[in-house]
Amino acid sequence: MKKKIEKKYVDYLVKKTEEIVNIDSPTGYTEEAASFVKKEFEALGFNAYYTVKGGIIVEFGGKDKDNGLLLEAHVDTLGGMVSRIKPNGRLELTNLGGMNPNNAETENVKVITKFNGEYEGTFQLNDASIHVNGKYNEQKREWSSCEVVLDEDVKDADDVKKLGISIGDIVCFDPNFRVTKSGYIKSRFLDDKLSVGILFAYAKYLKDNNITPERAIYAHITVFEEVGHGGCGSVPKGCTEVISVDMGCVGENLDCSEKQVSICAKDSAGPYNYNVVKSLIKAAMDNDIDYAVDVYPFYGSDAEASLRAGNDLRHGLIGAGVYASHGYERSHKDGAENTLRLLIAYTTD
């Protein structure tokens, strides 16, 4: 049976993706985003609860409780943390997750203090005026060679400290979300908030169509994926399989485009379960879903973290194609739709 979906589900997932993208949630600072996720799934009629670590488990129902499937996506993103208040009143950062200063230069940021509100600024190369800095093009972009220029009247470190800014404060980078007329979705942090949007649409589809899956289906929205331990706990009892719904890679020597769903056969940690990969491919083929199978050279997932933690599970990884990962990323409505269709086909046939 070919699983077609109505346009309203794609519109819904894009809307929810924009909403969650615009909630700051660099890894280690995810409470507001997790609260949003919990309330949204509950509003759709599903039981959702917090893990001790701060993630969300969602119960989609299902008949066979001893052969459960866990879908994992993460709401934590890349970001920064104040590591030094410099004598000139600028802020030096350390990265949260794989944030790369080459991809962050000139971006607007928000500094979230622990007790004294928020301040705006811009992440710039040190001495960023090209008409002044004759070595501008030669300087390597590193965390030590870049800084946050606060949009406040500060001249030295004491002025900054008087604002209540201190070491360990969180720095959030603007996502700059937009959808083009041609259907491209552009934003920071589509990895992995686009997948969270897809899971919202998956939940809505189950609810609208009164579907009870043959297997028990759960979702785990993790909050520490970007530092490697998001999926290391909280696997519901009875689960035998885990699938990460994360970004699909788009780049040189890979087959996937932004308009496809990517099925990962292997990444930097090794191969995904052969039978899971094969079953995902068959579900895509049987339902005329536009897909690609790829090997990702520099990638790890929540599903692998679940196995490394000692869980006895089959594992897989799928996701909408995303270009320029960990930078200003781009996907497409078609890729999101194909991912949603594959989830529906794989879990309800």
- Write the CB contacts of 96 (distance below 8 Å, at least 6 apart in sequence): 26, 27, 28, 29, 78, 79, 80, 81, 170, 226, 227
pLDDT at 129 over 50: yes
- Letter for the amino acid at 270? G
pLDDT for 2: 59
pLDDT digits (tens, 9 = 90+) for 97-116: 999 999 999 999 999 999 99
**Residue with structure tokens 């917090």?**
50
- Letter for the amino acid at 15? K
pLDDT tier, 267 (very low <50, low <70, confident <90, very high otherwise) = very high
| Buried/exposed code over 284-316 (b: 16+ C-beta within 10 A; e: otherwise) | beebebbbbbbebeebbbbbbbbbeeebebbbb
pLDDT digits (tens, 9 = 90+) for 193-217: 999 999 999 999 999 999 999 999 9
pLDDT for 191: 97
Q: How far is CA 164 from CA 15, 115, 150, 160, 174, in A?
A: 35, 7, 13, 7, 22
- Average pLDDT estimate for 52-70: 98
pLDDT at 75 over 90: yes
Tell me which residues are annotated as active site: 225
Q: Strand pairing partners for 95? A: 80
pLDDT digits (tens, 9 = 90+) for 284-338: 999 999 999 999 999 999 999 999 999 999 999 999 999 999 999 999 999 999 9
pLDDT for 3: 62
- Write the CB contacts of 220 (distance below 8 Å, at least 6 apart in sequence): 51, 55, 56, 57, 58, 70, 71, 72, 73, 231, 234, 235, 302
Closest residue by Cα to residue 338 from 1, 8, 10: 10
Q: Is the dihedral of CA 246, 252, 255, 260 positive or negative?
A: positive
